[in-house]
Amino acid sequence: MTDDTILSVADLSLRFGAKPKVKGSGLLAVNKVSFDLKQGETLSIVGESGSGKTTIGRCIARLYAPSQGSMVFQAKDGPVDLATLDKAGLRKVRREIQMLFQDPNASLNSRMRIGEIVAEPLEIHGIGTKAERIERVRSLLERVGLSADAVNRYPHQLSGGQRQRVGIARALTISPRLLICDEPVSALDVSVQAQVLNLLGDLQKEMGLTYIFVSHDLGVVDYISDRIMVLYLGTVMELATRDDLFAAPAHPYTRALLDAMPARVGGKHRKRKVLSGEIGGPSGLRKGCVFAGRCPFATDICRTHEPELRPWRRRPETRVACHHADDLDLGSYDQPPPEPESLP
Ligand SMILES: Nc1ncnc2c1ncn2[C@@H]1O[C@H](COP(=O)(O)OP(=O)(O)OP(=O)(O)O)[C@@H](O)[C@H]1O
Ligand SMILES: [Mg+2]
Protein backbone atom coordinates (compact mmCIF):
# COMPACT_ATOMS: atom_id res chain seq x y z
CA MET A 1 0.00 0.00 0.00
CA THR A 2 1.45 3.39 -0.98
CA ASP A 3 0.67 6.85 0.43
CA ASP A 4 -1.89 7.72 -2.19
CA THR A 5 -3.81 4.44 -1.83
CA ILE A 6 -7.43 5.23 -0.96
CA LEU A 7 -8.72 1.66 -0.88
CA SER A 8 -6.96 -1.64 -0.40
CA VAL A 9 -9.03 -4.76 -0.99
CA ALA A 10 -7.54 -8.09 0.03
CA ASP A 11 -8.93 -11.60 -0.39
CA LEU A 12 -12.51 -10.38 -0.74
CA SER A 13 -15.01 -13.22 -1.10
CA LEU A 14 -18.77 -13.36 -1.03
CA ARG A 15 -20.81 -16.52 -1.04
CA PHE A 16 -24.55 -16.08 -1.47
CA GLY A 17 -26.80 -18.48 0.42
CA ALA A 18 -23.99 -20.45 2.08
CA LYS A 19 -25.02 -22.98 4.73
CA PRO A 20 -22.76 -22.32 7.73
CA LYS A 21 -21.61 -25.91 8.24
CA VAL A 22 -21.51 -27.08 4.62
CA LYS A 23 -18.16 -26.34 3.03
CA GLY A 24 -18.49 -25.01 -0.50
CA SER A 25 -22.25 -24.55 -0.30
CA GLY A 26 -24.00 -21.56 -1.84
CA LEU A 27 -22.87 -19.51 -4.78
CA LEU A 28 -19.35 -18.09 -4.79
CA ALA A 29 -20.02 -14.73 -6.49
CA VAL A 30 -16.69 -13.12 -5.52
CA ASN A 31 -13.58 -15.25 -5.12
CA LYS A 32 -10.52 -13.89 -3.23
CA VAL A 33 -10.38 -10.57 -5.06
CA SER A 34 -7.46 -8.25 -4.21
CA PHE A 35 -6.55 -4.82 -5.57
CA ASP A 36 -5.36 -1.37 -4.51
CA LEU A 37 -7.00 1.82 -5.66
CA LYS A 38 -5.10 5.10 -5.89
CA GLN A 39 -6.59 8.46 -5.02
CA GLY A 40 -7.96 10.11 -8.19
CA GLU A 41 -7.79 7.09 -10.49
CA THR A 42 -10.46 5.15 -12.34
CA LEU A 43 -10.35 1.40 -11.98
CA SER A 44 -12.80 -0.45 -14.19
CA ILE A 45 -14.17 -3.89 -13.52
CA VAL A 46 -15.14 -5.81 -16.67
CA GLY A 47 -16.48 -9.27 -17.32
CA GLU A 48 -19.51 -11.09 -18.66
CA SER A 49 -22.92 -11.00 -17.05
CA GLY A 50 -22.84 -12.83 -13.74
CA SER A 51 -19.08 -12.45 -13.23
CA GLY A 52 -19.60 -10.60 -9.94
CA LYS A 53 -18.92 -6.97 -10.93
CA THR A 54 -21.97 -5.54 -9.19
CA THR A 55 -21.41 -7.73 -6.16
CA ILE A 56 -17.88 -6.35 -5.67
CA GLY A 57 -19.22 -2.78 -5.94
CA ARG A 58 -21.96 -3.55 -3.45
CA CYS A 59 -19.49 -5.11 -1.01
CA ILE A 60 -17.32 -1.98 -1.07
CA ALA A 61 -20.39 0.24 -0.55
CA ARG A 62 -21.29 -2.27 2.19
CA LEU A 63 -24.73 -2.93 0.77
CA TYR A 64 -23.50 -6.52 1.16
CA ALA A 65 -21.38 -7.89 3.98
CA PRO A 66 -18.51 -9.93 2.52
CA SER A 67 -17.94 -13.52 3.67
CA GLN A 68 -14.20 -13.02 3.87
CA GLY A 69 -11.45 -10.48 3.31
CA SER A 70 -10.65 -6.89 4.13
CA MET A 71 -11.35 -3.54 2.45
CA VAL A 72 -9.22 -0.86 4.07
CA PHE A 73 -10.47 2.60 3.15
CA GLN A 74 -8.52 5.78 3.92
CA ALA A 75 -11.35 7.79 5.42
CA LYS A 76 -10.87 11.44 6.32
CA ASP A 77 -10.46 10.46 9.97
CA GLY A 78 -8.01 7.66 9.24
CA PRO A 79 -8.07 4.12 7.84
CA VAL A 80 -11.07 1.84 8.46
CA ASP A 81 -11.78 -1.73 7.37
CA LEU A 82 -15.13 -1.54 5.59
CA ALA A 83 -15.55 -5.31 5.95
CA THR A 84 -15.78 -5.21 9.73
CA LEU A 85 -17.04 -1.69 10.41
CA ASP A 86 -19.99 -1.37 12.84
CA LYS A 87 -23.21 0.47 12.00
CA ALA A 88 -22.13 3.85 13.40
CA GLY A 89 -18.80 3.66 11.58
CA LEU A 90 -20.54 2.69 8.35
CA ARG A 91 -22.94 5.58 8.60
CA LYS A 92 -20.04 7.98 8.89
CA VAL A 93 -18.01 6.48 6.07
CA ARG A 94 -21.02 6.40 3.73
CA ARG A 95 -20.57 10.16 3.34
CA GLU A 96 -17.32 9.41 1.59
CA ILE A 97 -18.42 6.49 -0.59
CA GLN A 98 -21.38 6.79 -2.95
CA MET A 99 -22.87 4.60 -5.67
CA LEU A 100 -24.20 5.50 -9.09
CA PHE A 101 -26.56 2.96 -10.66
CA GLN A 102 -27.28 1.79 -14.16
CA ASP A 103 -30.94 2.55 -14.45
CA PRO A 104 -31.71 6.11 -13.41
CA ASN A 105 -35.38 5.25 -13.82
CA ALA A 106 -35.30 2.63 -11.12
CA SER A 107 -32.92 4.44 -8.78
CA LEU A 108 -34.79 7.77 -8.67
CA ASN A 109 -38.03 7.94 -6.70
CA SER A 110 -40.68 8.78 -9.28
CA ARG A 111 -42.87 10.62 -6.77
CA MET A 112 -40.18 13.05 -5.70
CA ARG A 113 -39.18 16.23 -7.48
CA ILE A 114 -35.63 16.48 -8.79
CA GLY A 115 -34.75 19.11 -6.17
CA GLU A 116 -35.89 16.81 -3.37
CA ILE A 117 -34.07 13.81 -4.86
CA VAL A 118 -30.76 15.64 -5.03
CA ALA A 119 -31.21 17.20 -1.57
CA GLU A 120 -32.14 13.94 0.15
CA PRO A 121 -28.60 12.74 0.99
CA LEU A 122 -27.91 16.13 2.62
CA GLU A 123 -30.99 15.66 4.78
CA ILE A 124 -30.17 12.06 5.66
CA HIS A 125 -26.74 13.15 6.86
CA GLY A 126 -28.02 16.39 8.42
CA ILE A 127 -25.73 18.63 6.41
CA GLY A 128 -26.30 22.41 6.10
CA THR A 129 -29.23 24.72 6.71
CA LYS A 130 -32.27 24.63 4.43
CA ALA A 131 -30.98 27.63 2.47
CA GLU A 132 -27.53 26.06 2.11
CA ARG A 133 -29.07 22.82 0.85
CA ILE A 134 -31.14 24.65 -1.75
CA GLU A 135 -28.06 26.49 -2.93
CA ARG A 136 -26.00 23.30 -3.05
CA VAL A 137 -28.67 21.52 -5.11
CA ARG A 138 -28.99 24.42 -7.54
CA SER A 139 -25.27 24.72 -8.14
CA LEU A 140 -24.85 20.94 -8.58
CA LEU A 141 -27.72 20.66 -11.04
CA GLU A 142 -26.17 23.46 -13.02
CA ARG A 143 -22.76 21.78 -12.83
CA VAL A 144 -24.12 18.52 -14.28
CA GLY A 145 -25.74 20.43 -17.12
CA LEU A 146 -29.38 20.75 -16.02
CA SER A 147 -31.26 24.03 -15.98
CA ALA A 148 -32.40 25.58 -12.69
CA ASP A 149 -36.07 24.85 -13.38
CA ALA A 150 -35.30 21.11 -13.27
CA VAL A 151 -35.68 21.25 -9.46
CA ASN A 152 -39.45 21.25 -9.75
CA ARG A 153 -39.72 18.51 -12.35
CA TYR A 154 -40.32 14.80 -11.83
CA PRO A 155 -37.99 12.08 -13.16
CA HIS A 156 -40.46 10.97 -15.86
CA GLN A 157 -40.36 14.47 -17.34
CA LEU A 158 -36.66 14.09 -18.16
CA SER A 159 -34.76 12.14 -20.82
CA GLY A 160 -32.61 9.14 -19.88
CA GLY A 161 -29.43 11.20 -20.13
CA GLN A 162 -30.91 13.97 -17.99
CA ARG A 163 -32.03 11.43 -15.40
CA GLN A 164 -28.52 10.04 -15.16
CA ARG A 165 -27.25 13.61 -14.67
CA VAL A 166 -29.65 13.84 -11.73
CA GLY A 167 -28.25 10.55 -10.44
CA ILE A 168 -24.73 11.99 -10.65
CA ALA A 169 -25.77 15.21 -8.87
CA ARG A 170 -27.42 13.17 -6.14
CA ALA A 171 -24.34 11.00 -5.68
CA LEU A 172 -22.13 14.09 -5.38
CA THR A 173 -24.24 16.27 -3.05
CA ILE A 174 -22.44 15.14 0.07
CA SER A 175 -18.97 15.42 -1.55
CA PRO A 176 -17.91 11.78 -1.53
CA ARG A 177 -14.32 10.81 -2.33
CA LEU A 178 -15.01 7.42 -3.88
CA LEU A 179 -17.78 6.89 -6.43
CA ILE A 180 -18.76 3.37 -7.43
CA CYS A 181 -20.39 3.57 -10.86
CA ASP A 182 -22.33 0.42 -11.81
CA GLU A 183 -22.94 0.44 -15.57
CA PRO A 184 -23.87 4.15 -15.40
CA VAL A 185 -24.21 4.59 -19.17
CA SER A 186 -25.39 1.13 -20.27
CA ALA A 187 -29.04 2.19 -20.51
CA LEU A 188 -28.25 5.30 -22.57
CA ASP A 189 -28.02 5.95 -26.30
CA VAL A 190 -24.48 5.84 -27.64
CA SER A 191 -24.43 9.60 -28.38
CA VAL A 192 -25.56 10.38 -24.83
CA GLN A 193 -23.09 7.87 -23.35
CA ALA A 194 -20.11 9.97 -24.45
CA GLN A 195 -21.60 13.13 -22.91
CA VAL A 196 -22.18 11.46 -19.57
CA LEU A 197 -18.71 9.85 -19.61
CA ASN A 198 -17.15 13.24 -20.36
CA LEU A 199 -19.09 14.79 -17.51
CA LEU A 200 -17.87 12.06 -15.13
CA GLY A 201 -14.29 12.67 -16.33
CA ASP A 202 -14.54 16.44 -15.80
CA LEU A 203 -16.08 16.07 -12.35
CA GLN A 204 -13.35 13.63 -11.38
CA LYS A 205 -10.64 16.16 -12.23
CA GLU A 206 -12.42 19.08 -10.56
CA MET A 207 -13.26 17.27 -7.35
CA GLY A 208 -10.35 14.84 -7.12
CA LEU A 209 -12.75 11.89 -7.15
CA THR A 210 -11.75 8.25 -7.32
CA TYR A 211 -13.91 5.93 -9.44
CA ILE A 212 -14.63 2.25 -9.52
CA PHE A 213 -16.34 1.81 -12.84
CA VAL A 214 -18.29 -1.38 -13.49
CA SER A 215 -19.07 -2.21 -17.11
CA HIS A 216 -19.50 -5.12 -19.50
CA ASP A 217 -18.61 -2.80 -22.39
CA LEU A 218 -14.88 -2.66 -23.11
CA GLY A 219 -15.42 0.26 -25.48
CA VAL A 220 -16.72 2.38 -22.61
CA VAL A 221 -13.98 1.10 -20.33
CA ASP A 222 -11.32 1.95 -22.92
CA TYR A 223 -12.62 5.52 -22.85
CA ILE A 224 -12.62 6.13 -19.12
CA SER A 225 -10.16 3.85 -17.29
CA ASP A 226 -6.69 4.21 -15.89
CA ARG A 227 -6.58 0.55 -14.97
CA ILE A 228 -8.80 -2.41 -15.76
CA MET A 229 -9.63 -5.52 -13.76
CA VAL A 230 -10.94 -8.47 -15.75
CA LEU A 231 -13.27 -10.73 -13.83
CA TYR A 232 -14.48 -14.24 -14.65
CA LEU A 233 -16.82 -16.11 -12.31
CA GLY A 234 -15.92 -13.81 -9.45
CA THR A 235 -12.19 -14.36 -9.95
CA VAL A 236 -9.64 -11.78 -11.15
CA MET A 237 -8.08 -13.00 -14.40
CA GLU A 238 -6.00 -9.91 -15.15
CA LEU A 239 -5.31 -6.48 -13.69
CA ALA A 240 -3.48 -4.03 -15.93
CA THR A 241 -3.27 -0.42 -17.03
CA ARG A 242 -5.71 0.45 -19.78
CA ASP A 243 -2.87 0.89 -22.26
CA ASP A 244 -1.21 -2.40 -21.36
CA LEU A 245 -4.46 -4.35 -21.49
CA PHE A 246 -5.20 -3.26 -25.04
CA ALA A 247 -1.59 -3.32 -26.24
CA ALA A 248 -0.70 -6.66 -24.67
CA PRO A 249 -3.49 -8.71 -23.12
CA ALA A 250 -1.97 -11.35 -20.86
CA HIS A 251 -4.92 -13.66 -20.18
CA PRO A 252 -6.72 -15.78 -22.78
CA TYR A 253 -10.04 -14.55 -21.35
CA THR A 254 -9.00 -10.91 -21.86
CA ARG A 255 -8.08 -11.86 -25.41
CA ALA A 256 -11.54 -13.34 -25.87
CA LEU A 257 -13.19 -10.16 -24.56
CA LEU A 258 -11.14 -8.05 -26.98
CA ASP A 259 -12.08 -10.37 -29.84
CA ALA A 260 -15.75 -9.87 -29.05
CA MET A 261 -15.41 -6.08 -29.38
CA PRO A 262 -16.09 -4.27 -32.61
CA ALA A 263 -12.94 -2.66 -34.11
CA ARG A 264 -11.96 0.76 -32.73
CA VAL A 265 -12.88 3.74 -34.87
CA GLY A 266 -10.23 3.95 -37.60
CA GLY A 267 -8.96 0.52 -36.63
CA LYS A 268 -8.75 -2.45 -38.95
CA HIS A 269 -12.08 -4.09 -39.60
CA ARG A 270 -12.19 -7.60 -38.27
CA LYS A 271 -14.64 -10.32 -37.61
CA ARG A 272 -16.06 -10.56 -34.13
CA LYS A 273 -15.35 -13.82 -32.42
CA VAL A 274 -17.55 -15.26 -29.76
CA LEU A 275 -16.34 -17.49 -26.95
CA SER A 276 -17.26 -21.11 -27.27
CA GLY A 277 -17.69 -23.59 -24.45
CA GLU A 278 -19.83 -23.49 -21.37
CA ILE A 279 -19.39 -21.00 -18.58
CA GLY A 280 -18.52 -23.11 -15.55
CA GLY A 281 -20.81 -23.30 -12.54
CA PRO A 282 -20.03 -20.70 -9.90
CA SER A 283 -21.18 -22.82 -6.98
CA GLY A 284 -19.79 -25.72 -5.09
CA LEU A 285 -16.14 -26.54 -4.58
CA ARG A 286 -13.87 -25.49 -7.38
CA LYS A 287 -10.78 -27.05 -8.76
CA GLY A 288 -8.26 -25.50 -11.11
CA CYS A 289 -8.66 -22.38 -13.20
CA VAL A 290 -12.27 -21.19 -13.50
CA PHE A 291 -11.71 -20.39 -17.18
CA ALA A 292 -10.17 -23.76 -18.10
CA GLY A 293 -13.38 -25.15 -19.61
CA ARG A 294 -13.45 -22.45 -22.27
CA CYS A 295 -9.73 -21.78 -22.69
CA PRO A 296 -8.03 -22.83 -25.97
CA PHE A 297 -4.70 -23.17 -24.11
CA ALA A 298 -5.85 -25.23 -21.13
CA THR A 299 -3.67 -28.17 -20.10
CA ASP A 300 -3.87 -30.65 -17.21
CA ILE A 301 -2.47 -28.26 -14.60
CA CYS A 302 -5.21 -25.74 -15.46
CA ARG A 303 -7.85 -28.29 -14.56
CA THR A 304 -6.28 -29.23 -11.25
CA HIS A 305 -4.54 -26.14 -9.80
CA GLU A 306 -5.99 -22.67 -9.39
CA PRO A 307 -3.47 -20.14 -10.77
CA GLU A 308 -2.46 -17.22 -8.56
CA LEU A 309 -2.63 -13.60 -9.66
CA ARG A 310 1.01 -12.62 -10.15
CA PRO A 311 3.17 -10.16 -12.12
CA TRP A 312 3.50 -11.02 -15.80
CA ARG A 313 7.00 -11.55 -17.17
CA ARG A 314 6.43 -9.44 -20.29
CA ARG A 315 4.90 -6.43 -18.51
CA PRO A 316 5.54 -6.57 -14.76
CA GLU A 317 2.88 -3.95 -14.04
CA THR A 318 0.30 -6.38 -15.39
CA ARG A 319 -0.89 -9.06 -13.03
CA VAL A 320 -2.36 -12.22 -14.47
CA ALA A 321 -3.82 -15.46 -13.15
CA CYS A 322 -2.79 -18.00 -15.78
CA HIS A 323 -0.34 -20.91 -15.60
CA HIS A 324 0.72 -20.35 -19.20
CA ALA A 325 0.70 -16.53 -19.47
CA ASP A 326 4.50 -16.25 -19.63
CA ASP A 327 4.59 -18.58 -22.65
CA LEU A 328 1.74 -16.95 -24.55
CA ASP A 329 1.79 -14.08 -26.99
CA LEU A 330 -1.78 -12.99 -27.40
CA GLY A 331 -1.05 -10.06 -29.71
CA SER A 332 -2.71 -6.70 -29.15
CA TYR A 333 -6.19 -5.34 -29.54
CA ASP A 334 -5.44 -4.20 -33.08
CA GLN A 335 -3.27 -7.19 -33.98
CA PRO A 336 -4.82 -10.48 -32.95
CA PRO A 337 -2.40 -13.42 -33.03
CA PRO A 338 -2.92 -16.31 -35.45
CA GLU A 339 -5.63 -18.77 -34.45
CA PRO A 340 -4.48 -20.51 -31.28
CA GLU A 341 -4.61 -24.29 -31.46
CA SER A 342 -2.46 -25.39 -28.59
CA LEU A 343 0.54 -24.35 -26.58
CA PRO A 344 3.77 -23.88 -28.54
N1 LIG B 1 -28.67 -11.16 -4.04
C2 LIG B 1 -28.20 -12.26 -4.60
N3 LIG B 1 -28.51 -13.50 -4.13
C4 LIG B 1 -28.02 -14.62 -4.70
N5 LIG B 1 -27.22 -14.62 -5.78
C6 LIG B 1 -26.88 -13.43 -6.32
C7 LIG B 1 -27.37 -12.19 -5.77
N8 LIG B 1 -26.86 -11.18 -6.51
C9 LIG B 1 -26.12 -11.74 -7.47
N10 LIG B 1 -26.11 -13.08 -7.37
C11 LIG B 1 -25.36 -14.03 -8.23
O12 LIG B 1 -23.99 -13.70 -8.08
C13 LIG B 1 -23.31 -13.77 -9.32
C14 LIG B 1 -22.69 -12.44 -9.62
O15 LIG B 1 -23.73 -11.50 -9.88
P16 LIG B 1 -23.46 -9.97 -10.21
O17 LIG B 1 -24.78 -9.30 -10.24
O18 LIG B 1 -22.44 -9.43 -9.29
O19 LIG B 1 -22.86 -10.06 -11.69
P20 LIG B 1 -22.51 -8.89 -12.71
O21 LIG B 1 -21.11 -9.14 -13.16
O22 LIG B 1 -22.80 -7.57 -12.10
O23 LIG B 1 -23.50 -9.21 -13.92
P24 LIG B 1 -24.29 -8.20 -14.91
O25 LIG B 1 -23.29 -7.82 -15.99
O26 LIG B 1 -25.38 -9.04 -15.45
O27 LIG B 1 -24.76 -7.03 -14.11
C28 LIG B 1 -24.34 -14.24 -10.32
O29 LIG B 1 -24.20 -15.63 -10.48
C30 LIG B 1 -25.66 -13.87 -9.69
O31 LIG B 1 -26.67 -14.74 -10.12
MG1 LIG C 1 -24.10 -6.03 -12.62
Question: What is the reported pLDDT for 275?
Answer: 66
For residue 294, the one-letter residue type is R
Question: What is the reported pLDDT for 148?
Answer: 82
Is the predicted pLDDT of residue 136 greater than 90, yes or no?
A: yes
Q: For strands 68-75 and 78-81, give the pairing.
A: antiparallel
Name the more confident of 341 and 149. Answer: 149
For the segment 17-24, the average pLDDT, to the nearest whole number, is: 83
- Atom index in ligand 1 nearest the CA of residue 52 equals 18
For the segment 80-84, the average pLDDT, to the nearest whole number, is: 97
Name the more confident of 261 and 51. Answer: 51
CA distance 66 to 59: 6
Question: What is the reported pLDDT for 106?
Answer: 77
Confidence of residue 341 (pLDDT cuts 50, 70, 90): low
Question: What is the reported pLDDT for 191?
Answer: 87
Question: What is the reported pLDDT for 339?
Answer: 66
Residues 46 and 134 in one domain: no
Question: What is the reported pLDDT for 236?
Answer: 98
Residue 162 lies in a domain: yes
Among 35-39, 221-225, 241-245, 273-277, the range scoring the smallest mean pLDDT is: 273-277
CATH code for position 190? 3.40.50.300
Confidence of residue 108 (pLDDT cuts 50, 70, 90): confident
For the segment 86-96, the average pLDDT, to the nearest whole number, is: 93
Question: What is the reported pLDDT for 308?
Answer: 96
From the CA of 43, how far away is ligand 2's center (Å)? 16
Residue 60 lies in a domain: yes
Q: Is 215 in the pocket of ligand 1 (CB under 6 A)?
A: no
Is the predicted pLDDT of residue 342 greater than 80, yes or no?
A: no
- Contact indicator for 288, 304 with CB cutoff of 8 Å: yes
Q: Is 342 in the pocket of ligand 1 (CB under 6 A)?
A: no
Question: What is the reported pLDDT for 23?
Answer: 79
For the segment 133-159, the average pLDDT, to the nearest whole number, is: 93
Domain span holding position 164:
106-174
Is the predicted pLDDT of residue 121 greater than 80, yes or no?
A: yes
Residues 88 and 134 in one domain: no
Is the predicted pLDDT of residue 171 greater than 90, yes or no?
A: yes
Residues 24 and 85 in one domain: yes
Confidence of residue 24 (pLDDT cuts 50, 70, 90): confident
Model confidence, pTM: 0.92
Residues 82 and 14 in one domain: yes
Is the predicted pLDDT of residue 304 greater than 80, yes or no?
A: yes
Strand partners, 27: 16, 283
Residue 279 CB-half CA count within 13 A: 14
Per the structure, the count of domains in the chain is 3
Q: What is the number of the ligand closest to the CA of 233?
A: 1
Helix (H, G, I), strand (E, B) or coil at 232: strand
Sequence-separated (6 or more) residues with CB below 8 Å from residue 234: 14, 28, 29, 30, 31, 33, 51, 52, 55, 282, 290
Question: What is the reported pLDDT for 271?
Answer: 56
Residue 120 lies in a domain: yes
CA distance 43 to 241: 9
Question: What is the reported pLDDT for 268?
Answer: 53
pLDDT digits (tens, 9 = 90+) for 212-240: 999 989 999 999 999 999 999 999 999 99
CA distance 30 to 15: 7
Q: Which of 44, 53, 55, 186 to mutate to test the pocket of ligand 1 (most atoms within 8 A of CB)?
A: 55
Q: Which of 13, 31, 48, 53 to mutate to test the pocket of ligand 1 (most atoms within 8 A of CB)?
A: 53
Q: Is 55 in the pocket of ligand 1 (CB under 6 A)?
A: yes
Q: What is the number of the ligand closest to the CA of 229?
A: 1
Sequence-separated (6 or more) residues with CB below 8 Å from residue 109: 117, 155
For the segment 311-337, the average pLDDT, to the nearest whole number, is: 93
Q: What percentage of the chain reaches a pLDDT higher than 90? A: 76
From the CA of 99, how far away is ligand 1's center (Å)? 17
Residues 145 and 208 in one domain: no
Q: Which of 105, 93, 39, 36 is nearest to 62 (CA)?
A: 93
Residues 90 and 194 in one domain: yes
Question: What is the reported pLDDT for 263?
Answer: 61
| Residue nearest to ligand 1 atom 1, measured at CA | 16
From the CA of 232, how far away is ligand 2's center (Å)? 13
| Residue nearest to ligand 1 atom 29, measured at CA | 50
For residue 240, the one-letter residue type is A
From the CA of 58, how far away is ligand 2's center (Å)? 10
Q: Is 282 in the pocket of ligand 1 (CB under 6 A)?
A: yes
Residues 6 and 89 in one domain: yes
CA distance 343 to 113: 60
- Contact indicator for 64, 14 with CB cutoff of 8 Å: yes
- Contact indicator for 246, 258 with CB cutoff of 8 Å: yes
**Triad 102, 103, 109: Cα angle to 5°:** 130
Q: Give Cα 59 to chain centroid, integer Å.
A: 12
For the segment 294-310, the average pLDDT, to the nearest whole number, is: 95
Which string of DSSP letters, residue by residue, matches 245-286?
HHHS--SHHHHHHHHTSPPPTTSPP-------SPPPPSBS--
Is the predicted pLDDT of residue 279 greater than 70, yes or no?
A: no
Confidence of residue 280 (pLDDT cuts 50, 70, 90): low
Residues 23 and 85 in one domain: yes
Residue 71 CB-half CA count within 13 A: 24
Q: Is 283 in the pocket of ligand 1 (CB under 6 A)?
A: no
Question: What is the reported pLDDT for 281?
Answer: 55
| Residue nearest to ligand 1 atom 4, measured at CA | 16
Residue 9 lies in a domain: yes
Residues 185 and 201 in one domain: yes
Question: What is the reported pLDDT for 203?
Answer: 97
- Contact indicator for 49, 60 with CB cutoff of 8 Å: no
